Amino acid sequence: MRLSANVRDLKPSATIAVSTLAKRLAAEGRDIINLSAGEPDFDTPSFVSDAAIAGIRAGRTRYTPPAGVPELRKAIAARLSERAGHDLPWEGVVVSSGAKQALFNSIFCLFGPGDHVLVAAPFWTSYPDLVTIARAIPLPVSGPEADGFKISPAVLDTARTDATRGLILNTPCNPTGAVYSLSELRAIAEWARANGVVLISDEIYRNIYYGNDRPAAAGILDLAADRVGDIVLIDGASKSYAMTGWRIGFSYCEPDLAAKFTSLQSQITSNAATPSQMAALAAFSDAGAADASVHEMGRAFRRRRDLVTTRLGEVLPDVSFVEPEGAFYLYFRVDGLFDDGVTDATAWCSRLLKEQGVALVPGAAFGDDRWVRMSYAASDDSLEEAFRRIGALVGAGTSA
Ligand code: PMP
Ligand code: GLU
């Protein structure tokens, strides 16, 4: 069948592909440690699930307005307003089927044929593909490895073209775990404004943060900017509240643009699933209960972050990695381990999966196939065992 130019180059999501393969091998009886998928391994907090069940019993099972039920949009806006330090209009919030759809809405509404969109690299695998679906051109841009690849105005100046219309930034970053400080973010937001570039800030891992200076990573709403005309915030419930399967994300931007996202969504998915919106309403309105669960998950992620960075140093002492300050990924560089049969991280990950049953995502998914990503959203025992097996693959001893 002849395919349209919209999808001719479209590939399946690489992160989802590896995770699907790992799940299939496990279902076939293989002993697989799946550290590919980026999703919390915790159950959704029960007060959240209970709210969905109560909603279903109360008949909240029909279509909602396309941008979500007003009470949920208002609850989200109230939490965003606390962060911003002033009231933000709830009409700027659009609830979507996952942050993924919120990103699609933003990219598709803002960029089109011929537009250049800078994508901070290493990037989450879907950004360039979403830009390509809009027939715009994704241009990866990255800062120095020693600085966790974080970009700065100087780096952006070298990448900007006359056709640059957008910049996609992710902090805390998937796959590196790097986190931008408030002053770094401010400099980038000012650069974007001065250059007529829309900044899409994906802050879905904001609550998974290991710094001691603040409870959550810095985000664009902390910039105290009262002008949001050229900024789109992306966030959601998937990571903060262990709700990946419920498919609730949102965007926040100025209300006219939000209305356009709503029109697009009304033509494509109508609305995010109604029972899921009831669940999210509990998560975003009961701040005390939600923050307690974020805190508990955060403690586990921090312990595992320490575990994986320590084990990596023991098992692969010569391998460099980005020190994760947020999210739940460890990004490390494996080109020093290549040999005649394994000349990229894709082949290295295949060998690890085939010979040792450990699934990681090769850096090809994030823009550089000398690196690999490990998700440490897994039990301590699985992580210990994964490093024992990586040690076995490379012939290293481990203390585990
Ligand atoms: N942004 C980033 C950086 C992610 O890692 C993910 C995880 N899939 C998403 C967006 C999409 O999240 P959601 O499950 O809400 O669609
Ligand atoms: N964000 C996760 C990851 O990067 C989930 C899979 C996806 O949506 O790409 O692995």
Structural contact between residues 396 and 316, judged by C-beta atoms closer than 8 angstroms = yes
pTM: 0.96
Query: pLDDT by residue (tens digit) across 315-329?
Result: 999 999 999 999 999
**Of the ligands numbered here, which is closest to the C-alpha atom of 12?**
2
Q: What beta strand segments (E) does 156-310 contain?
A: 164-170, 198-202, 231-236, 249-252
Q: What is the pLDDT of residue 227?
A: 56
Helix, strand or coil, per DSSP, at residue 51: helix
Of the candidates 291, 277, 301, 176, which has an alpha carbon nearest to the alpha carbon of residue 241? Answer: 291
Q: What is the mean pLDDT of residues 202-223?
A: 93
122 CB within 6 A, ligand 1? no
What number is the average pLDDT over the span 358-362? 96
Helix (H, G, I), strand (E, B) or coil at 15: helix
How many other β-carbons are positioned within 10 Å of the β-carbon of residue 187?
17
Quote the CA–CA distance of 219 and 223 in Å, as a whole number.
7
| Amino acid type, 299 | R
Q: Say yes or no: CB of residue 174 within 6 Å of ligand 2.
A: yes
Query: For residue 36, how far is its CA from the centre of ligand 2 (angstroms)?
Result: 9
Q: Using a 6 Å cutoff on CB, does residue 329 contact ligand 1?
A: no
Rounded distance from Cα 31 to ligand 2 centre (Å): 22
Domain 14-43+290-394 and domain 62-285, same fold? Reply is: no
For the chain, domain boundaries: 14-43+290-394, 62-285
**Does ligand 2 come within 6 angstroms of the Cβ of 40?**
no
Each residue of 264-277: pLDDT tens digit? Answer: 999 999 999 999 99
CA of 12 to the centre of ligand 1 (A): 15
Q: In this predicted structure, what is the pLDDT of residue 224?
A: 66
Centre of ligand 2 to C-alpha 242, Å, is 13
**Residue 399 confidence (pLDDT):** 44
Burial of residue 43, with CB atoms counted within 10 A of its CB: 0-12 exposed, 13-18 middle, 19 or more buried:
exposed
Tokens matching residue 198? 């829309």
Whether CATH 3.60.110.10 fits 62-285: no
CA angle 147, 152, 157 (to 5 degrees): 135
pLDDT of residue 107: 98
**Atom 4 of ligand 2, nearest CA residue:** 38
Q: Is the CB of 98 within 6 Å of ligand 1? A: yes
Span 149-164, mean pLDDT?
A: 98
- Give distance in angstroms: CA of 93 to centre of ligand 1: 17
- State the pLDDT confidence band at 183, using cuts at 50, 70 and 90: very high
Query: Does 359 sit in the ligand 2 pocket, CB within 6 Å?
Result: no
Q: What are the CA-CA distances from residue 391 to residues 14, 26, 77, 112, 351 (Å)?
A: 25, 21, 48, 47, 13
Indicate which atom in ligand 2 lies nearest the CA of residue 126.
Answer: 9
The C-alpha angle 101, 104, 107, rounded to 5 degrees, equals 150
The fold for domain 14-43+290-394 equals: Aspartate Aminotransferase, domain 1 (3.90.1150)
